[in-house]
Amino acid sequence: MDHRLHATASMAESFYHLFVNRRAYTLQSTRPHPETGRHHYYRPKARAGEAGLSLETVQQHLAGEITLGIYAIHPQTQRSKWVAIDADYKNALVDLLKLQNELQQDGVEPALEKSNRGGHLWIFFEQPALARDCRVYIYHTALRLGLPIKGAGLPEGLEIFPRQDELGEGEFGNAIRAPLGVHRGARESRGRRFWFYGADYTLSDQLAYLGRTQKVSAAQLASFIAGKTLPDEFVKHSKRPEAPKHYYSSPDREFRILDYVHVERQVGRNWIARCPSCAAANRDRSGDNLAISVEEPRKYICWAGCTKAMIRNAVGRPIPEKRNAL
Ligand SMILES: [Zn+2]
């Protein structure tokens, strides 16, 4: 089944205006990962002369040729044009509808987008709002309703984007699947478009609807969060960015250390993980010997001194011996 639609340059502009906070972005792989079967997102490597996400790329997303992930926080301002609440669990839609109803009592007009088992609820701001303030508002509203929030002990629940209060140098935070494109993810949704409930299922109607939804003003947001801070139990979770599974496009057989380790956290410009070579020797129990460069994930180092050859052997992908040139 062909899921492509006609997308115009002006649709791409509307989308950009609504959703794009920074020019870094992720792409969903068109082929499933050979081991997990999942269509992971990766951050495409910027080519010389490219300044990141372009209108042409957005247009391809809307047309269904590629699938984008977008970031919530602009790194210089720590602000976002939107807050999105992702709920994907049994009965998630019921929780999202409760939340939507409660937000409407505040005069907010959230837009509800379908997804696999639940949806994404989007709230837009007149002017980009501090990530911290967006988060305080949604956490407090969700907790008042008794809704589950992921993290702080709960494996399932609402996920609130921006996922961080602010970004450190070189950080990106978490990307969310960009709306109005084709989802290449879970089996039950492969190749499907998820639409917003509030308008007819065409790109032009959907974008027009999103454009006219009520945007939250700075004064409104300030009044919603007056005297409130992020609940303590969620503070430490707000400092945990997610590692992209595939960082950039590269030939299929190229070795990617990120495919073989579980990234625990980011410290400065490095992802931190348990070193596979140390692990094979039952060392590195604290899981922090391996540092992988965020900017150049081909570069990694074990602080305990394992060589690249040892690490490659430990994951079953030994460095191929070079053939001698004739
Ligand atoms: Zn090691």
C-alpha 318 to ligand 1 mean position (Å): 15
Instruction: Count Cβ neighbours within 10 Å for each residue of 132-156 and write b for 16 or more, e otherwise.
Output: bbbbbbbbbbbeeeebbbbbeeeee
Per-residue confidence at 3, pLDDT binned at 50, 70, 90? Answer: confident
Tens digit of each residue's pLDDT (9 = 90 or more) over 271-286: 889 999 999 998 988 8
CA of 289 relative to ligand 1 center, distance in Å = 6
Cβ-contact 75, 167 below 8 angstroms? yes
Mean pLDDT (the chain, rounded): 86
195-225 tens-digit pLDDT: 999 999 999 999 999 999 999 999 999 999 9
- 154 vs 314: which has the higher pLDDT: 314
Mean pLDDT for the stretch of residues 17-38:
82
| DSSP collapsed to 3 states, the chain | CCCCCCCCHHHHHHHHHHHCCCCCEEEECCCCCCCCCCCCEECCCCCCCCCCCCHHHHHHHHHCCCCEEEECCECCCCEEEEEEEEECCCCHHHHHHHHHHHHHHCCCCCEEEECCCCEEEEEEEEEEEEHHHHHHHHHHHHHHCCCCECECCECCCEEEECCCCCCCCCCCCCEEECCCCEECCCHHHCCEECCECCCCCCHHHHHHHHHHCCCECHHHHHHHHCCCCCCHHHHHHHHCCCCCCECCCCCCCCCCHHHCCCEEEEECCEEEECCHHHHHCCCCCCCCCEEEECCCCCCEEECCCCCHHHHHHHCCCCCCCCCCCC
Distance 271 CA to ligand 1 centre (A): 15
248 versus 206: the higher-pLDDT residue is: 206
Q: What is the per-residue pLDDT for 308? A: 93
What is the mean pLDDT of the segment spanning 100-105?
A: 97
Average pLDDT over residues 229-235: 79
pLDDT confidence bin for 258, thresholds 50/70/90? confident
CA 111 to ligand 1 center in whole angstroms? 48
Q: What pLDDT, on a 0 to 100 scale, did the predictor assign at position 203?
A: 96
Identify the band that residue 247 occupies on the pLDDT scale cut at 50, 70 and 90.
Answer: very low
Q: How far is the CA of 170 from the centre of ligand 1 (A)?
A: 25
Distance 79 CA to ligand 1 centre (A): 38
pLDDT score for 239? 55
CA of 164 to the centre of ligand 1 (A): 30
Query: What are the tens digits of pLDDT across the range 30-80?
Result: 777 666 666 777 777 655 555 689 999 999 999 999 999 999 999 999 999
Q: Distance from the CA of 273 to the center of ligand 1, in angstroms? A: 10
Q: What is the pLDDT of residues 130-164, one digit of tens each?
A: 999 999 999 999 999 999 998 766 778 999 999 99
Please give the pLDDT value at position 36.
63
**Dist CA 109 CA 94 (whole Å):** 17
